[in-house]
Structure 1
């Protein structure tokens, strides 16, 4: 009988941030436990304290270089509330939405083509040196070129609205600090027809993969769960920028609907596990065992009643037909959902570029000061919550962030164990390709691991001093 074994995948590749997977094999060579560990620590919830409220939207986006706009806008929405602004001027609202659609588009394109597509095009078992964007450029140069140009277009939208492609300053408490010039609008409109056609082609590629590999998709990291997102208030349409919180269960039944997002803390609880810096949220009324849920593109397709742009709405109907109208529980279908959202963003960008409000001059509103604010947005990876309290000196006294990857923590861990059990148990030899199957399951969630880690409870710092003979001379521990 074999000895128990521990297998590590460290680091997990083609994701943003640092993480590892541990797989425990028992004496029968079967998977006993498999976990995704977040091994980096970011203390944004602590060191944002004391900063002035108008600094927050600029500072917190340093959490990430991939999705900074999402943090920028979620924080700005929270500071709108603190500034007493419940309704932005049309120019400010539409400029922020344009910024957000550019962000979601470029992030989804980056993930699908640069990070996930090597697995889909070449196979999960392809040699590691084959699974990268450079091989896609060699094998399908036109597809690779489009991927680069589509992401470039999304970043140009961000630059036009936020001032910079990464870590911009466009959103301010109560509004925006710029409008869109006619010259920049016209330059972007020259590219919109290509973007529309390429988005349709990318959607066809993702949809085709899902349908062609329906057997694999239906069994690979597929399990029932709850799903949560924002949805447009009143009609339940997909809305990536604003709306009420909506959650459904695995049968498609409503758990809660159109709840004002400032009440998120009445709905959700953040659990802690000893082996990860990332928290495990669950729906309070259902408890930790039954209340965990997933967010992101697939969850948004499951919770949305319709999409208010015609091509994306037609694609949503096809997506729902794949499961006969029931919630889609398959991890790999996320790529199809992601490309529906890219097409939706391009349609929204086109409509906004034609809107004369973007050249308006009323950029900011004011109101009666409040002490607390919550901003929620649908980031590319899913629901993103920013919650702040500010004192009479305009300094932050409290910050809580629940990011998309944190919402998905339980789902990702279940995906890891499901795939590890299916592909690694009872195997005489475990190959790199087998281990890549586990990474494929993680990448389906497009996790941003650096966004997802922050302080809760005691996070000890241990410093140990050793001499040349490896004898410990001193040890000091500090808890934050």
Structure 2
């Protein structure tokens, strides 16, 4: 589904292109392939104990410069190309910002409902892919299951009913997006001031006929995951557990709202840090700054010590940042999950899967309620433009993997002057690395990386569902390279899993 493409040999990539006629020679440096294989480096300290573990990612942000100079009308469509996994989130985040820059203060009720329907449709689609196709092998075959069994094909063979339901739930989410945007993937739908196409009554009735089954299947899957956690609570609560603040979007009443809302943060113990921060005030509470081990600036909470100011976004953060989910069955499941903490915040990395499934149920219930609204099929799609047109706009939206932040400024001609995008994977980097460090400290034996340790590392990465191909199963396995180095930087051990699942180990010297 998201399998990595084969690598081209280096000889196939031209290093320079020389013009045939007079003129300068232009040198094109061949970049490393993006996202084809993840790499984790484990570093020991002088005493031989694990110092840190880091997942290295190519955080290319050239897309922001690519948007400069483009007209407002193009932005919501173009930003979908930034991420092939959650294009709807980027599409809607940009669309809401372009509404403001184009002079639209409020949309029509029909347009708002259609955008919300599309957004929650993507939530269903993305969460279904992750739970049924990526997380299920880790959960269903247990901690001691053979690594080569942790694959989608193995789930289909051993649990055919679950695999079939996963395909159909994912398809339903895709159909919701297609109904609004015109395509299942990179489509359209939102334009400055509203929506480009109405929803037909026939399509609405078709979706209404399927949504109850999706809700029932998701509730059954939640029962399954609850039973799995009950079989080995210490493992699920302890694996990759790192305490830290959580951040999510909530309504004024404290309910979760994935489409719009204000920013709220809680500490690792659940104490409030800030609440009701509007998109324009994002910089009041969160700042980006460089770290010595990456070319990318990472977000941090302001006013907290430099070692504790990282935070977590995404499903497990969202269900604990809010006071409730506004759909009845999902809120009951949220309470069942939170009860696992016995009054304390949940920080175990494997709880992400359970939280993601709770959100899938909530999204399906929201879709059901929207489909019951006859106003969804209205033709009042474009709002009235106001006289005021600001030169800057910022939006926040909850993408499947966590909070997504867009900020834009434009000129008098309606062209983008500057753009800032902060994506969920970047915000979760510190939390993910901290979880990897805990996993490695618990499972590293001696000075050699084993295939068992590789499996544990893969499981921790998948739980965060980063927007990388190394978060997915390529033919059932995650393409990943893990290396162990001493305090001086010397390589002690290395293991690689290729894109076809093959494993190779190396011990230098």
Deviations 1:242-282 (A, max 9, x none): 11110011121111111112210121111222433443211
Q: Which of 440, 447, 450 is the aligned partner of 2:459?
A: 440
Cα distance change on mapping 1:287 and 1:17 into 2, 3 Å:
farther
Q: Which of 64, 68, 86 is the aligned partner of 1:45?
A: 64
Deviations 1:220-243 (A, max 9, x none): 11121111111012x100111111
Paired residue for 1:401?
A: 421
Gaps of 5+ in 2: 1-6, 8-33, 472-509
CA distance in 2, matches of 1:313, 1:197: 15
Paired residue for 2:177?
A: 158
CA distance in 1, matches of 2:258, 2:36: 24
Q: Which of 319, 323, 340 is the aligned partner of 2:341?
A: 323
Cα distance change on mapping 1:221 and 1:140 into 2, 3 Å:
same
The 5 Å alignment of 1:261-276 reads 261-276=279-294
Cα distance change on mapping 1:357 and 1:287 into 2, 3 Å:
farther
The offset of 1:287, in angstroms, is: 4.4
The offset of 1:187, in angstroms, is: 1.2
The offset of 1:302, in angstroms, is: 0.7
Q: Aligned to 1:237, what secondary structure does the other structure show?
A: coil
Q: Aligned to 1:286, what secondary structure does the other structure show?
A: coil
The offset of 1:28, in angstroms, is: 5.9
Given that 2:113 and 2:370 are in contact with CA atoms closer than 8 Å, whether structure 1 keeps it comes out as: yes
Cα distance change on mapping 1:61 and 1:411 into 2, 3 Å:
same
1:73 is aligned to 2:96: no
Q: Which of 290, 300, 303 is the aligned partner of 1:282?
A: 300
Paired residue for 1:130?
A: 149
Q: Aligned to 2:243, what secondary structure does the other structure show?
A: coil
Q: Which of 360, 364, 379 is the aligned partner of 2:399?
A: 379
Normalising to structure 2: TM-score of the pair? 0.82
Paired residue for 2:357?
A: 339
Paired residue for 2:326?
A: 308
1:418 is aligned to 2:438: yes
Paired residue for 2:233?
A: 214
CA distance in 1, matches of 2:177, 2:129: 15
Given that 2:102 and 2:414 are in contact with CA atoms closer than 8 Å, whether structure 1 keeps it comes out as: no
Deviations 1:393-443 (A, max 9, x none): 21111110111111111101101111111111x436532121110121111
CA distance in 2, matches of 1:173, 1:325: 45
Paired residue for 2:201?
A: 182
Q: Which of 377, 385, 390 is the aligned partner of 2:410?
A: 390
Given that 1:210 and 1:332 are in contact with CA atoms closer than 8 Å, whether structure 2 keeps it comes out as: no
CA distance in 1, matches of 2:90, 2:199: 22
Given that 1:24 and 1:32 are in contact with CA atoms closer than 8 Å, whether structure 2 keeps it comes out as: yes
The offset of 1:140, in angstroms, is: 0.9
1:243 is aligned to 2:261: yes
Cα distance change on mapping 1:124 and 1:273 into 2, 3 Å:
farther
Given that 1:279 and 1:409 are in contact with CA atoms closer than 8 Å, whether structure 2 keeps it comes out as: no
* C-alpha RMSD over aligned residues: 2.1
CA distance in 2, matches of 1:436, 1:88: 48
Paired residue for 2:367?
A: 349
Given that 1:236 and 1:305 are in contact with CA atoms closer than 8 Å, whether structure 2 keeps it comes out as: yes
Q: Aligned to 2:123, what secondary structure does the other structure show?
A: helix
Q: How many residues align?
A: 437
CA distance in 1, matches of 2:48, 2:129: 38
Q: Aligned to 1:444, what secondary structure does the other structure show?
A: helix
Instruction: Indicate the larger mover: 97-106 or 173-182.
Output: 173-182
Instruction: Indicate the larger mover: 362-371 or 224-233.
Output: 362-371
Cα distance change on mapping 1:27 and 1:251 into 2, 3 Å:
closer
Paired residue for 2:14?
A: none
Instruction: Indicate the larger mover: 75-84 or 415-424.
Output: 75-84
Q: Aligned to 1:87, what secondary structure does the other structure show?
A: coil
Gaps of 5+ in 1: 1-10, 453-480
Q: Which of 262, 269, 276 is the aligned partner of 1:258?
A: 276
Given that 2:35 and 2:58 are in contact with CA atoms closer than 8 Å, whether structure 1 keeps it comes out as: no
Deviations 1:333-386 (A, max 9, x none): 111111111111111111111111111111122222111111110111110001
Given that 1:296 and 1:383 are in contact with CA atoms closer than 8 Å, whether structure 2 keeps it comes out as: yes
The offset of 1:29, in angstroms, is: 5.0
Deviations 1:182-202 (A, max 9, x none): 111111112122111111112
* Misfit runs of 4+, over 6 Å: none
Given that 1:125 and 1:436 are in contact with CA atoms closer than 8 Å, whether structure 2 keeps it comes out as: no
